[in-house]
C-alpha cells in the first residue's frame, strides 16, 4: 500500500509540473497572439479560451471555447498558428484540438455553424440578437479582391448593400467552397447596416434555418419563429443546398421569402451550384431564386490569385515574402481562395514564430502536402494543342521542321510553357517537338522571356495560355 501511495504521489507531482508548463506556455502564446493578430480580434475570439485535457501519450492538448461556432471559427482562422505556437513552446504539445467546453451554455438562438457569422440590428425585435459589428471587418468590400471570375457577384453584392433599393431581389450567388461567398455576405450586411443601422438584418445558414424551424415546431413557437424572420429587412441565407429533401422546411422557407419579397425586403442566398442544378429543392423555390439575379463565382485564375496574395502581402508585415514565393503559391494552390490564403498565413505564422526568413525552398518544404493535393499534371501535348488553337495553326506544326515565323513563334511559346509548366527535361521537350536539340529549347525559352519584357502582346498571350492550361 505504501508503494502504491508513493507512485500515486509521484504521478500527481508530474501532473502538477506538466500543468505548470502548460500554463506558462499558454500565457506566452496568448501574449504573442494578441500582439500578432491585434487586441480587438484576440479579445473577441481567443481571450476566453481555456486549457482543457492533456494526453501525455499523444501529446495532445484541448483548448476549450464557449461554443462550437467559436471553436470552429478559431480553428479555421488561427488553427495552424496555434498548433505551431504550441509545438515551438517546449511544453510537450504536438497537437491541439479546439473544442466546445463540456460545461458551456448551449448556443444562442442565432449562433451559427462553422465559417459563418451573425449580425442582427434587431430594431427591438429580440433581446438575444447580436449587433452588426459581429461581422468580420476583414470581410468587407474593400478587402474583396476582384477579377473576371467574381466581378459580377461583387457588383451585385454592392448593389444589394447600397442605399438605393436594388432592382433585383433575391440575389443568388453560387460557387465552389472557399471562393468568397461568405465574404460577400459579411460585406453586404456591413454595407447595408452602415446606412440603415436600425433596419433588422438576419444571417443564418440553411441548415440553421432548418434546425430552428424544427425546434420551434417542437416547442410550439412557430409563430415567434416566423415573426422574427419576417421582421428582417435584409435576410442572408448561406448554403441553401442543405435544405434539399426537407419538405416542411422548404415550405416555410418559400413562405418566408415570398413575404419578404412582397414587403420590399432584400434577400441574398448562396449555394454551391446554380439554381437549376440543385436537386430535391421545391420548384417554386427555384423559380423564386432564379427570378432575381443569379451571379456565379468561378475558381480564381492565376492573375486573381496573384492579386489576392499581393493584397495579403501588403498587410502581412514581417517576415517579408519575396516575389518568387508569391508566384509559387499562386501557381501551386489552385483549388480555392480560402486554401490559398491559408497557405500564405501558414508561411507567415511559421516565419514569425521561428524567426526564419521566408524563401522559395522554405515555402516548397512547408507546403509540400498542399501542393501535392493541388497538383494537376499538365502535359506537353496539352500545351502544344492549346498553343496551336490560340495561334490558329495545325497542331502538327509544333513537331514540323517549318521555320516560317507564323509557325516558329507559336512553337517557341509552346516550348517556353513546356519548360515552365511541366517536369520534362530540356532534351525530353526537344524530342517531343520533332526531335529538336535541347539547345533549341533553351533558345526558345530565352527568346520568349525577353519578348515578355518588351512585347505586351506576347506577355498577354502567355498569361492567357497559362490561365487556360491551369484550368
Please report, in range form, the residues annotated as the binding site for ATP: 178, 180-182
Q: Give the DSSP per-residue string, 91-135.
A: SS--EEEEEE-TTPPPPPTT---TT-------TTS-SSPPPGGGS
How far is 335 from 360, CA to CA, in rounded Å?
Answer: 20
| Residues 273-276: contacts with CB under 8 Å, at least 24 apart | 273/174, 273/241, 274/174, 275/172, 275/174
Q: Phi and psi dihedrals of 120, rounded to 5?
A: -135, 125
Beta strands at 266-271 and 234-238: parallel, antiparallel or unpaired: parallel
Q: Give the DSSP per-residue string, 233-276.
A: SEEEEE-GGGGTT-HHHHHHHHHHHHHHHHTT-EEEEEESS-GG
Q: What is the total residue count of the chain?
A: 471
The DSSP H or E segment spanning 431 is helix 426-432
Helix (H, G, I), strand (E, B) or coil at 60: strand
Residues 6+ away with beta carbon under 8 Å from 439 = none
Known binding-site residues equal 178, 180-182
How far is 407 from 227, CA to CA, in rounded Å?
Answer: 69
> Quick check: 359 and 325 in contact, CB under 8 A?
yes
> Quick check: 41 and 78 in contact, CB under 8 A?
no
Per-residue buried b or exposed e for 131-168, using 16+ beta carbons within 10 Å of the residue's own CB: ebebbbeebebeebbbbebbebbbebbbbbbeeeebee
With the CA atoms of 55, 60, 63 and 69 taken in that order, what torsion angle do they form, in degrees rounded to the nearest 10?
Answer: -120
Nearest to 118 by CA among 271, 230, 236, 239: 236
Amino acid at each position: 500500500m505504501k508503494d502504491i501511495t508513493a507512485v500515486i504521489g509521484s504521478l500527481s507531482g508530474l501532473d502538477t509540473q506538466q500543468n505548470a508548463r502548460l500554463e506558462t506556455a499558454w500565457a506566452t502564446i496568448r501574449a504573442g497572439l494578441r500582439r500578432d493578430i491585434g487586441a480587438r480580434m484576440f479579445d473577441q475570439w481567443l481571450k476566453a479560451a481555456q486549457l482543457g485535457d492533456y494526453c501525455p501519450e499523444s501529446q495532445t492538448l484541448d483548448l476549450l471555447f464557449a461554443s462550437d461556432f467559436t471553436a470552429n471559427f478559431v480553428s479555421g482562422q488561427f488553427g495552424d498558428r496555434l498548433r505551431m505556437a504550441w509545438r515551438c513552446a517546449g511544453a510537450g504539445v504536438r497537437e491541439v484540438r479546439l473544442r466546445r467546453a463540456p460545461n458551456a451554455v448551449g448556443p444562442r438562438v442565432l449562433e451559427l455553424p462553422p465559417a459563418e457569422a451573425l449580425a442582427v440590428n434587431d430594431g427591438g425585435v429580440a433581446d438575444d440578437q447580436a449587433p452588426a459589428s459581429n461581422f468580420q471587418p476583414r470581410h468587407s468590400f474593400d478587402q474583396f479582391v476582384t477579377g473576371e471570375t467574381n466581378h459580377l457577384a461583387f457588383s451585385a453584392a454592392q448593389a444589394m448593400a447600397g442605399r438605393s433599393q436594388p432592382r433585383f431581389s433575391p440575389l443568388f450567388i453560387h460557387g465552389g467552397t472557399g471562393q468568397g461567398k461568405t465574404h460577400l455576405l459579411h460585406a453586404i450586411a456591413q454595407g447595408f447596416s452602415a446606412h440603415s443601422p436600425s433596419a433588422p438584418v438576419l444571417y443564418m445558414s440553411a441548415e440553421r434555418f432548418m434546425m430552428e424551424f424544427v425546434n420551434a415546431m417542437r416547442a410550439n413557437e412557430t409563430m415567434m419563429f416566423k415573426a422574427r424572420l419576417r421582421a428582417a429587412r435584409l435576410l442572408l441565407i448561406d448554403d441553401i443546398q442543405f435544405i434539399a429533401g426537407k419538405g416542411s422546411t422548404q415550405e416555410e422557407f418559400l413562405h418566408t421569402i415570398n413575404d419578404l419579397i412582397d414587403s420590399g425586403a432584400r434577400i441574398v442566398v448562396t449555394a454551391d451550384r446554380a439554381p437549376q442544378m440543385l436537386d430535391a429543392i421545391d420548384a417554386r423555390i427555384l423559380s423564386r431564386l432564379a427570378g432575381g439575379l443569379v451571379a456565379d463565382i468561378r475558381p480564381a485564375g492565376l492573375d486573381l490569385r496573384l492579386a489576392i496574395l499581393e493584397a495579403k502581402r501588403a498587410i502581412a508585415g514581417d517576415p517579408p515574402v519575396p516575389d518568387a514565393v508569391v508566384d509559387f503559391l499562386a501557381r501551386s494552390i489552385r483549388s480555392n481562395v480560402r486554401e490559398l490564403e491559408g497557405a500564405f498565413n501558414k508561411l507567415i505564422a511559421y516565419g514569425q514564430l521561428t524567426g526564419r526568413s521566408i524563401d522559395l525552398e522554405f515555402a516548397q518544404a512547408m507546403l509540400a502536402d498542399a501542393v501535392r493535393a493541388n497538383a494537376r499534371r499538365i502535359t506537353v501535348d496539352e500545351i502544344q494543342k492549346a498553343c496551336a488553337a490560340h495561334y490558329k495553326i495545325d497542331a502538327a506544326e509544333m513537331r514540323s521542321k517549318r521555320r516560317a515565323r507564323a509557325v516558329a513563334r507559336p512553337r517557341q511559346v509552346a516550348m517556353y510553357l513546356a519548360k515552365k509548366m511541366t517536369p520534362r527535361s530540356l532534351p525530353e521537350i526537344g524530342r517531343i517537338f520533332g526531335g529538336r536539340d535541347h539547345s533549341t529549347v533553351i533558345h526558345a525559352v530565352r527568346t520568349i522571356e525577353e519578348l515578355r519584357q518588351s512585347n505586351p502582346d506576347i506577355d498577354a498571350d502567355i498569361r492567357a495560355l497559362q490561365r487556360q492550361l491551369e484550368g
